[in-house]
Amino acid sequence: MNALKDKRVVLWLAGGIVVTALFLFPLFSTDTFGFVEKIIGKYPYAAPLVIVVSKFFTALFAPLPGAPIAIASLTFLPWWKAALYNFIGSEIGVVCAFFIARRFREQVVAYVAPLKKIHEWQDAVSRRKQFWTFVAFRIFSQAAFDVVAYAAGLTKIPFRIFLAAILLIDAPIHIAFFYFGGLAIRYSIYLTLFGGGVLLLLLAVAKKRTY
């Protein structure tokens, strides 16, 4: 059991490294940066598709980091477009996570998210089903793994409450993050990278506590 758990941890870490490298490398390479700009200019639907699909998978497979995708999209796109595409991908991902947990339960959920953490959230959600309590859980999950969707799916909480909570929290968080991130890019891309680095560090700390 421990060997299997260690193997999963290694796979999640490797996946996180790959996602981080793919989306942040163009920011440090002049040639790659220019190439990405040309692709976005030539194929206007490429950026929305890549961002939405990528954010969908990072929301569905909770240990994968979504911050590199947000930082890269904010660098190449206007802040409101980056916010919109990231928001759409994330919300589709968490809704799918909710229904996966509700339909297939722990046997499947264990393969896509840390089950121990999910059970902690599940117990909390089961004890308190009030709307605002779930909203508070959603706020906390923004700073750690997005496992609340799986935890909620394993409970009897109505989908309408789940959906209302994530929309209430995620929409203003996305607007604030991308708006102020866009301001940071206007002054210096290095300021944005620094903020992104801090965000990734917080994510790494959250991962360590989860496991």
Tell me which residue has tokens 């980056």: 82
Exposure pattern of 100-131 as b/e (b: 16+ CB <10 Å)? Answer: bbbeeeeeebeebbbbebbbebbebbeeeeee
Question: What pLDDT is attached to residue 211?
Answer: 46
Per DSSP, the three-state class of 188 is coil
pLDDT at 165 over 90: no
* Residue 24 near residue 68 (C-beta atoms within 8 A): yes
pLDDT-derived band at 82, boundaries 50, 70, 90: very high
Neighbour tally for 29: CB within 10 Å? 11
Q: What pLDDT was estimated at residue 106?
A: 78
CA 93 to chain centre: 9
pLDDT band for position 125 (cuts 50, 70, 90): low
Sign (positive or negative) of CA dihedral 6, 7, 12, 17: positive
Asked if residues 151 and 125 have their Cβ atoms less than 8 Å apart, the reply is yes
Report d(CA 6, CA 96) in Å as an integer. 26
For residue 101, give the nearest of 52, 166, 37, 148 by alpha carbon.
Answer: 148
pLDDT tier, 113 (very low <50, low <70, confident <90, very high otherwise): low
Report yes or no: 58 and 66 within 8 Å, Cβ to Cβ.
yes
Would you give the DSSP letter of residue 61? S
Query: Quick one: average pLDDT of 27-54?
Result: 92
Range ranked top by mean pLDDT from 63-72, 90-99, 137-146: 90-99
* Higher pLDDT among residues 144 and 136, named by residue: 136
